[in-house]
Amino acid sequence: MAVELLKGNVAFAEAAVRAGCEAYFGYPITPQTEALEHMAKRMPELGRVFVQAESEVAAINMVYGAAAAGARVMTSSSSPGVSLMMEGISYIAGSEVPAVVVDVMRGGPGLGNIAPAQCDYLQMVKGGGHGDYRSIVLAPSTVQELIDHTVLAFDLAEAWRTIVVVLADGSLGQMMEGAELPPMRPPRPPSERAAWALTGAIGRPTNLVSSIHLEPSEEEAFNQRLQAKYAAIEAAEVRVEEHLTGDARIAVVAFGTAARLAKTAIAAARDDGLAVGVLRPITLDPFPTAALRALAERVDGLLVVEMNAGQMLQDVQRVVAERVPVRFFGRTGGVMPMPEEIGAAIRELAHEVGAADDAAPWQEVPA
């Protein structure tokens, strides 16, 4: 396959098709709609399932149904739509069926706007739906990663029988970038669906997909099993990128689009003689606790940069536990932080912790 100029929303939809996605259920919402439109064209063309649901509530429950039948299935939406999916996500987690959800985040709360934001971190990483469940949350920062994570999401969802969320934002969904699509994997034939799936009880005991455990002790046993699974996921699936952290005295911690903005900012800071790097959690859940803790031992200060009011910040503070100063720079409401502003925040922190001694003299950055 060759590198092509691809729009993020189209790229992840096509990646899902090529990963053998058998069914897509969704509802239009900006800045994600091109994905739904791509599926509307592609899925019927390939004899696969596409349904424009009457709402996101219906879409996620259609996903629940198809997943219960053992099919590779996904939905995609953006923040207000994802809020409506929370009940279904909790049910899917509570019955341990695999499903993929792509959230192309936009500014909130409420109707907010359609500009790029990262304000669903807490909703996606900490739950959002009810109950003691967790999801695997992947945070792509390029169109290529958006493609790769979508493919990976299906594999992880099936390997762990869990919800996998690809947490993108309006910028990744709307931008075009050179990227390579994966080769076409044919969908798994229905005859090869998982043993637990609802395929009809021909010659076998019946299967049940349900999240009800009326007896508290049974619900507790189930929860303990879930927690054990999450611990195993934590041990096996952490993904993190460290960019120029080797000699860094200051590190930016950022995910997704904010991380790529930060990379441009640290390039300029390094030109001024500041030793700065970026730690980018690729999995937001499981969170790269060990890598962050190790980095916190080496650097003089951490700057968390997010397109929200400081959501991942809570996790960074928890992990770092006052080993080094943790500062925050964020823009909210769909405003993207410009690399110049991030650079100013880096310099401020460098001066605060004395990491700027051999750096070029302070310069006001034009806003």
Partner 1 sequence: MTHAERPIADVVIAGFGGQGVLFAGQLLAHAALDAGLHTTWFPSYGPEMRGGTANCTVVVADGPIGSPVVGRPQAAIVLNLPSLDRYEPLVAPGGLLVVNTSLVDRAVARDDLDVVAIPADDVAAELGHPKLTNVVLLGALLARHPALRALGRLTPEHLATTLARVLPERHHHLLGANRAALERGAELAGAAPAAVAPTGA
Partner 2 sequence: MTTAPLATTPVYERPDALTDVPTHYCPGCTHGIAHRLIAEVIDELGVRETTIGVASVGCSVFAYRYFATDFAQAAHGRAPAMATGLKRVSPERLVFTYQGDGDLASIGAAEILHAAARGEAITVFFLNNATYGMTGGQMAPTSLIGQKTTSSPLGRDAASQGSPIRMSELIAQLDGAAYVVRRSLHDVVQIKRAKKAIREAFEVQQRGLGFAMVELLSSCPTNWGMAPDEALGWIRDAMVPAYPLGDFKVPEGLRPARKGAHA
Cβ closer to partner 1: 239 or 270? 270
**Residue 267 in contact with partner 1, rule: CB under 8 A:** yes
CA 188, distance to chain mean position in Å, is: 25
Q: State which residue, 103 or 341, has the beta carbon closest to partner 1.
A: 341
60 makes contact, choosing from partner 1, partner 2, ligand TPP, none, with CB < 5 to 8 Å by partner type, with none
Measured from the CB atom, the residue of 81 and 288 that comes closer to partner 2 is 81
Quick one: 34 or 56, whose CB is closer to ligand TPP? 56
Contact present, 137 and 122 (Cβ < 8 Å): no
Burial class from Cβ neighbours inside 10 Å (0-12, 13-18, 19+) for residue 348 reads: middle
Question: Smallest Cα–Cα separation from 254: which of 297, 334, 315?
Answer: 315
What per-residue string of b and e applies to 202-221 under the rule 16 or more CB within 10 Å gives b?
eeeeeeebebeeeeeeebee
Q: Tell the smallest beta-carbon distance from residue 13 to partner 2 (Å).
A: 12
* Positions 279 through 298 that interact with partner 1 (CB under 8 A): none
Residue 244 contact among partner 1, ligand TPP, partner 2, none, beta carbon within 5 to 8 Å by kind: partner 1
Q: Which is nearer to partner 1, 30 or 289 (CB)?
A: 30
Q: How far is the CB of 324 from ligand TPP (least distance, A)?
A: 41
- The answer for residues whose C-beta is within 8 angstroms of residue 300's C-beta and 6 or more apart is 249, 250, 324, 325, 353, 354, 355
Smallest gap from residue 26 Cβ to ligand TPP (A): 10
Write a three-state SS string for 204-245: CCCCCCCCCCCCHHHHHHHHHHHHHHHHHHHHHCCCEEEECC
Give the interface segment with partner 1, choosing from 61-69, 265-273, 295-303, 356-364 (CB under 8 A).
265-273
Are 321 and 246 spatial neighbours (Cβ–Cβ below 8 Å)? no
Residues that bind partner 2 (CB under 8 A): 27-30, 33, 36-37, 40-41, 44, 51-52, 54-56, 80, 110-111
Q: Are 248 and 269 in contact (CB under 8 A)?
A: no
- List CB contacts of 58: < 8 A, sequence separation 6 or more: 25, 27
- Distance in Å, CB of 33 to ligand TPP, minimum: 8
Binding flags for partner 1, 333-362, as an x/- string (CB under 8 A): ---x-xxxx---------------------
| Nearest-angstrom CA–CA distance, 279 and 254 | 7
Residue type, 102: V
Residue 333 neighbours by CB under 8 Å, 6+ apart: 107, 112, 113, 115, 117
Which residues here bind ligand TPP, judged by CB under 6 A?
27-29, 56, 80-81, 84, 111
Angle between helices 312-320 and 289-298 (to 10 degrees): 60
Least CB distance from residue 115 to partner 2, whole Å?
15
Q: Which of 1, 4, 200, 363 binds partner 1 (CB under 8 A)?
A: 4
By the criterion CB under 8 A, which residues form the site for partner 1?
A: 3-5, 30-31, 113-115, 142, 170-171, 174-178, 244, 260-267, 270-271, 336, 338-341, 366-367
